[in-house]
Amino acid sequence: MSIADSLPPADPSARPVLELLDGFRASKALFVAVSFGLFDRLHQGAAGLDELASERGLASHALERLLGFLVSRGLLVLNEAGEYSNTESADRFLRTDSTETLAGYILYSERVLYRMWGRLDDAIREGTNRWEQEFGAKDGIFDHFFSTNEDKETFLRGMHGLGMLSSPRVAASFDLKPYRRLVDVGGATGHLAIEACRQYPELDAVVFDLPSVVPVAARQVAEAGLSERVGTASGDFFSDPLPPADLYALGRILHDWGDEKVRLLLAKIAAALPAGGGLLICEQIVNERKDGPPTALLQSLNMLIVCEGRERTSAEYEALVREAGFSSFEARRIGPPVDVILARK
């Protein structure tokens, strides 16, 4: 009998604590691997430790630890010859040139969110975001990330990757056949408009976003081969008129803002809709007791740190949309990364 055989089993009540304790370490390991371009390099072909270390200018003994962790989490494979290669998950979601990449959001998480989450105690103490404290600027997330073309592209690539995960299910969550024109308000790269038009041949769409974002959306639409059915329009959804539609969508928009601005935007959309028109809301929905799901609650903390909004319960969303003039409300859980609400006027 070995020493291990004689030991009592580990206390299972410690497991959730230990998993949370390790969470930031695992995230940072992933951030660094993407920043070093390891998954891009290994998409080109398998490589050994010394080769990778030499090419990237890294210490072999240190890189070996990082690579070993990535193997243990199912992102890399180590063959008998001592060569590393990507798994399907890494090839699909961690290569920067993949159509499904999450690399943009990962880089945004490292460069911004990781730093701002270090101020969580102050955010909870004061109840406000941490932009000025961390970056020395009073501007918010969008002014900061659209200040340079590189920052804008990184942020939008991240939103596109997340959207590619959710938009097919969002478009299929409700029967959208009665609608003929969708306007995705704050539609970013157009992932929802593209997917909705793919699933509903009679539907046309417009991606409405800031002038600096629209060229990125137009490029994504063209790459999808849908330029004849998906157009773009630029403007500020708080201050500019919305393009006409019988179906509007708000994907990851309402959670950015406090209730006052949410009311303004919902009322504006309700006024623009014809009778029978609809509104799709794509957000993570918090349980009525506000004790789950964990991903929604973490995202709500994230909204505290980076902006002025939060994740809401289904009842909170229903109250807001009915106050704006919508007569029906239905919420469906499909997440993560988002759930879906359809409200009708």
Annotated catalytic sites, by residue?
A: 255
How far, in whole angstroms, is CA 18 from its chain's centroid? Answer: 26
From residue 305, give the alpha-carbon distance in Å to each of 42, 127, 240, 302, 326.
35, 9, 28, 5, 31
What is residue 13's DSSP assignment?
G
184/321 Cα distance (integer angstroms):
17
Output the six-digit token pair for 281: 């809301």
Quote the strand ranges of the chain, DSSP E.
47-48, 76-78, 83-86, 181-185, 204-209, 230-234, 247-251, 278-283, 285-286, 312-313, 328-332, 339-344
Angle at 254 between CA 93 and CA 225, to 5 degrees: 45
192/213 Cα distance (integer angstroms):
15
For residue 155, which of 191, 116, 112 has the smallest C-alpha distance?
112
